[in-house]
């Protein structure tokens, strides 16, 4: 499944059931993190493109083809979309690997799992029911109806674009909404490939739209658009704050899924080899680029030395390489900005007195020099109040703290602004 083509593929946006260029005619390159080379050309959407997409979505909400479609028929359409995703899982996975540099084994696993979200919500589509409410006055009939919000705007990140899109898209479609998606400028291609399947499934024009572009232009325009009924945002805290400020002007409700600083806790009665494998998978499997990455490791003092030795031995064996190869165990950073951010965390940890056990630099292998790789990195004796312990790295950097007292452990593990996942 290794990627061999170097041809630059040109994409168009999907708006109102049609493939269109940005109104400005501008486009930007999407770079392959493994090679550092351009592989796709993406339309550079602006505010006018977002408005065009929102207008198309509003029109779809009024169109009888969608507005009057029975919930059961909506469910059949969504199920058909799930089938098409399953049939095209390998193609979608390869596109995501080219775009974000994550391992094909991870992207393929995600794409094969994605149809299940559509199957679930396909079954839910005709089970969205209101209620009758008894009143003191028996001559009055009081009842509730659940109706679509309208146009739902979805802003997706670059680490698992289609999986995170599906978390909210499947539900939005089942409820009868129309959707405008603005994918990350770093990973726009898979959403456009996905739009082909939505079109093929037979959804009416305008029910699903994709506007590509940069966060400060297209993303800001969608966040501030007065005709967006709800915004769904997956990303970092700073991005969410920026979106919230814009959305507040219209009191647009938001659904947020942000970052994490997840603790992995290993007690002294653990089966050490198994726990080592779990901790490595938790932080290095996706090059640390996941919101539930186990970036904080709390080790019981009694097993600290043995665990650390085994951890380093196994980490040294991690095979970094072409993410489109099933043999690779760790791929590059998705962007050069993320690569620089990871190095900044490493520099900060060193200045704060943490002990660098392994990694802490880019690999010197000639086969990897064109890509945005960073070695799996392990720090010991990390202070709980340091930048590395408190902030999300979103990269392959593990910070270790020892513990012996459970009350102290619980206090330190919970001493974080983030709360998303944990492992014991």
Tokens standing for 346? 């490493």
Is residue 291 flagged as an active site residue?
yes
Is residue 301 flagged as an active site residue?
no
**Which candidate in 279, 291, 391, 392 is catalytic?**
291
State how far the Cα of 394 lies from the Cα of 292, in Å rounded to an integer: 9
Nearest CA to 209 out of 17, 414, 371, 2 is that of 17
How far, CA to CA in Å, does 360 sit from each of 76, 248, 376, 395?
Answer: 51, 41, 8, 11
Residues taking part in catalysis:
257, 291
């Amino acid at each position: 499944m290794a990627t061999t083509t170097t041809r630059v593929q040109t994409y168009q946006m999907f708006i109102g059931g049609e493939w269109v260029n940005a109104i400005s005619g501008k486009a930007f390159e999407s770079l392959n993190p493994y090679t550092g080379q351009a592989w796709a050309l993406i339309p550079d959407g602006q505010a006018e493109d977002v408005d065009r997409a929102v207008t198309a979505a509003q029109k779809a909400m009024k169109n009888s083809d969608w507005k009057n479609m029975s919930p059961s028929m909506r469910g059949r359409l969504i199920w058909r979309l799930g089938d098409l995703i399953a049939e095209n899982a390998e193609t979608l996975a390869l596109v995501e690997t080219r775009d974000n540099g994550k391992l094909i084994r991870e992207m393929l696993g995600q794409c094969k799992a994605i149809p299940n979200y559509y199957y679930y919500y396909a079954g839910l589509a005709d089970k969205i029911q209101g209620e009758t409410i008894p009143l003191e006055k028996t001559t009055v009939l009081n009842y509730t109806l659940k109706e679509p919000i309208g146009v739902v705007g979805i802003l997706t990140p670059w680490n698992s674009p289609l999986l995170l899109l599906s978390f909210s898209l499947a539900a939005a479609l089942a409820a009868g909404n129309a959707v405008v998606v603005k994918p990350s400028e770093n990973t726009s291609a898979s959403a456009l490939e996905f739009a082909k399947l939505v079109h093929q499934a037979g959804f009416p024009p305008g029910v699903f739209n994709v506007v590509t572009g940069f966060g400060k232009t297209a993303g800001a325009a969608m966040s501030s658009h007065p005709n967006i009924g709800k915004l769904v945002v997956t990303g970092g805290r700073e991005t969410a704050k920026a979106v919230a400020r814009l959305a507040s002007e219209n009191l647009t409700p938001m659904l947020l899924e942000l970052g994490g600083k997840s603790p992995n806790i290993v007690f002294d009665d653990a089966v050490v080899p198994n726990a080592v494998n779990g901790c490595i998978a938790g932080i290095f499997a996706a090059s640390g680029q996941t919101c539930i990455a186990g970036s904080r490791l709390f080790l019981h003092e009694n097993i600290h030395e043995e665990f650390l030795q085994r951890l380093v031995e196994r980490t040294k064996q991690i095979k970094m390489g072409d993410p489109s190869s099933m043999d690779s165990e760790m791929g590059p950073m998705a962007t050069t900005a993320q690569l620089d951010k990871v190095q900044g965390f490493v520099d900060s940890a060193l200045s704060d007195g943490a002990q660098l056990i392994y990694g802490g630099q880019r690999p010197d292998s000639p086969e990897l020099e064109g890509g945005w790789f960073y070695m799996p990195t392990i720090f010991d004796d990390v202070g709980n109040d340091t930048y590395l312990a408190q902030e999300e790295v979103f990269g392959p950097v593990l910070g270790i703290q020892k513990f012996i007292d459970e009350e102290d452990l619980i206090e330190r593990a919970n001493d974080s602004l983030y709360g998303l996942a944990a492992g014991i």
